[in-house]
Amino acid sequence: MKLLIAEDEIRAREGLVHLIPPIFNEVRAAGNGQDALAIALEMQPDVVLCDVRMPKMNGIELARQLRLRFPDVHLLFISAYSDKEYLKSAISIQADGYLEKPIDEQELLDYLGRITSAITARSLEHRQNDLGELFARQQLLRILLQKGDSREESLALNPSLTHAVLYADHYLPVSIRMQWPGNGASTQYGLFSEIELAEMLFRISQNCLFSILSESQIGVLFYGDHLPSAAECRAGLVPVLKAIREANPQVLNVCACIGDPCDSSAALYNHYHASHLQVLWMCFAGEAPLSIGTLRHSPMPPEDRSSQFETLLRTHQLNAAKQLLWSQTNEIIKGGSGSIEQARQYYELLLSICLRVTSPDHSGYRATRTSAEIMNTFSKLSTLPELCRFICVRIDDISPSMRIDADSTSLVREVQDFIRQNLSDPALSVQAIADKVGLSENYLSAQFKRETGQTLHKVIVDLRIERAKYLLLNHYRMPEVAQRCGFSSAGYFHSVFKKHTGLSPAAFVEGSRARAERGDTLKGGD
């Protein structure tokens, strides 16, 4: 609550400031009526403690000016003069009380206690009225979106409101979607105040309904003779999406789709459903954390390039396979619309190809996870880029890319196979490889570098870091990433990753999200 003191005597003014109870979180003071009025216009006080006789503007005139601007403000007069005319004026202005100087502290506190109780009761009544209005609006929109133009049931909620909505000239639906990790919703859902949401939407247009349809979905409807333009709607939705994101930092992205306007409440269901499908696709496509779009073209199934993809895998052109996957993913996202089910089925097909191509005895990763476990993890991923990254990890499991020429010697290929089989084993080392191929460590290292231009130790570290990046971006926790990439502990993995990349694992993930938020083009991670 906010309180303003208007008192021309400095000592009296300072003494009153110290008497004000802590329930008032903002207390300001002025030495004359004009200054008090200027401060009141800025702070909009709940209570004004006002001396009757002041220079420039007396307390009675100040009170009249305040009452015109703030009808609900509480006025408490103080004066050293027991003049009946002042008392009459105080009564006419509907003051809450009149205190004589010197001020009795307990009398002042009693007055302020009664005033704050009245303010609290009025605030609660207003909030209950606001919540009742919001409930009627949410119920009306829920009926319209779920059952179509149900006039009889709608009019039973609030005849004056529903009559205005049902017989409006134009309608504009908007669908808002929150994308949570794990292809689901939050178990501890906390959006923010529904009154706050209403206030932000009413800034776009007073003719607005909204309904929180689920933990992930909000439906919005603008109606009336003059709908907000697309630009006005987009600008007004930005603070709404930001508020949702701030209240739920674990959310991956928040997207809104502005639907096509329609001229009949009977057609509203189909128009909203179209915007709902589009916003589902926007979230699935992994658009920027805050995205606002409009309806686009009809869904198209992904072009089937699975045969080309499988050929690249079987001929060990693994980088080319990943580039093909990322290129197609970018094409699908840039296409702007699509069927989530068709896209998921297509990427499941690509993953199944990876599982077929992977040799059972050539993957330390597969040794810890069965195909069923892999497919189960895959089914819980939320976005198209996540599906793509997950498959890229599987490609690396087939045979980590070591940038070795196709005509390498049998020794190099034997070393390559051994690394592929044991990349997740912390015991993998140059000495372990030398023991496997029956050569001394120094001779093997020199021979390998002569043929490939790389040291064996650097190859092992590079491949482990490469796999770790994919797993981190795929929402694996750091201890599991360390285990799957052959690091003996999460702490050791952290230090090696930071030394290798210049970033901690958390900073690497945060940087990737920041680039996505800026709208940087997706790229494959070789």
Both 255 and 278 in a single domain?
yes
Structural tokens at position 234: 């987009």
Residue 128 placed within a domain: no
Q: Say how far apart CA 353 and CA 435 lie, in whole Å.
A: 34
The pLDDT value recorded for residue 400 is 43
Both 380 and 509 in a single domain?
no
Residue 281 placed within a domain: yes
The pLDDT value recorded for residue 337 is 59
Both 186 and 267 in a single domain?
yes
Structural tokens at position 225: 């003779």
Structural tokens at position 515: 């680039």
Note down the domain range covering 162.
133-294
What percent helix, strand, coil does the chain show, rounded to 5?
60, 10, 30
Contact 472, 414 (CB under 8 A): no
401-413 burial: b if 16+ Cβ within 10 Å, else e: bbebeeebeeebe
The pLDDT value recorded for residue 163 is 61
Both 282 and 384 in a single domain?
no
What's the pTM value of the predicted model, to 2 decimals?
0.53
Q: Say how far apart CA 11 and CA 77 lie, in whole Å.
A: 17
CATH code, domain with 79: 3.40.50.2300
Q: Say how far apart CA 138 and CA 153 lie, in whole Å.
A: 14
CA atoms within 13 A on the CB side of 19: 21
Closest CA to 294 of 309, 314, 312, 279: 279
Q: Say how far apart CA 519 and CA 507 lie, in whole Å.
A: 18
Residue 192 placed within a domain: yes
Residue 116 placed within a domain: no
The pLDDT value recorded for residue 39 is 92
Both 143 and 246 in a single domain?
yes
**β-bridge mates for residue 58, sequence order:** none
The pLDDT value recorded for residue 367 is 38
The pLDDT value recorded for residue 48 is 92
Both 304 and 374 in a single domain?
yes
The pLDDT value recorded for residue 298 is 61
The pLDDT value recorded for residue 403 is 41
Both 307 and 287 in a single domain?
no
Residues 6+ apart with CB under 8 A from 73: 45, 46, 47, 48, 66, 67
User: Which positions of the chain have pLDDT values less than 50?
Assistant: 185-191, 359-368, 399-407, 519-526
Structural tokens at position 200: 């932000």
Q: Say how far apart CA 50 and CA 75 lie, in whole Å.
A: 7
Count: domains in the chain: 4
Both 390 and 488 in a single domain?
no
Structural tokens at position 500: 């290798």
The pLDDT value recorded for residue 365 is 40
Residue after which a domain boundary falls, among 333, 365, 399: 399
Q: Say how far apart CA 5 and CA 99 lie, in whole Å.
A: 14
For residue 207, give the amino acid letter: N
Residue 327 placed within a domain: yes
CATH code, domain with 189: 3.30.70
Length of the chain: 526
Dihedral pair phi/psi, residue 253, rounded to 5°: -155, 160
The pLDDT value recorded for residue 384 is 87
The pLDDT value recorded for residue 525 is 41
The pLDDT value recorded for residue 347 is 93
Q: Give the other-Cβ count within 10 Å of 63's Cβ.
A: 25
